[in-house]
Amino acid sequence: GESVGLHLPTLSVQEGDNSIINCAYSNSASDYFIWYKQESGKGPQFIIDIRSNMDKRQGQRVTVLLNKTVKHLSLQIAATQPGDSAVYFCAEQFTGANSKLTFGKGITLSVRP
């Protein structure tokens, strides 16, 4: 029979615009957060991270914002380019003993030329 896969939510933006990708995390004890980018058929690639003692961190063209009050994480990409098209995952971790990353389900970013 035919199988139907789940579809990730998609964010479509115009090339050159800024993108904002949002993520709600689940564990209030999490103290370390990461954004990954995954291109089709490849492994996830680290973009930027932030620890819970910060609420903002900037990289090259990317900014991560952390709001611990509402357990919300966002990734802002400035001047979005076609090469930014990918699936983006947020991940959270409580860096205690036997800690492990918990990944969100992912969001597809599609950049229109």
Partner 1 sequence: DGGITQSPKYLFRKEGQNVTLSCEQNLNHDAMYWYRQDPGQGLRLIYYSQIVNDFQKGDIAEGYSVSREKKESFPLTVTSAQKNPTAFYLCASSTGLSEQFFGPGTRLTVL
The residues of the shown chain that bind partner 1, judged by CB under 8 A, are 5-8, 32, 34, 36, 41-46, 49, 89, 95, 98-101, 103-106
Q: In this structure, is the dihedral angle defined by the CA atoms of residues 73, 77, 81 and 83, taken in order, positive or negative?
A: negative
Angle at 38 between CA 33 and CA 40, to 5 degrees: 165
CB 94 → partner 1: shortest distance, Å? 12
14 vs 46, which CB is nearer to partner 1?
46
CB 3 → partner 1: shortest distance, Å? 9
CB-based contact 52:69 (threshold 8 Å): no
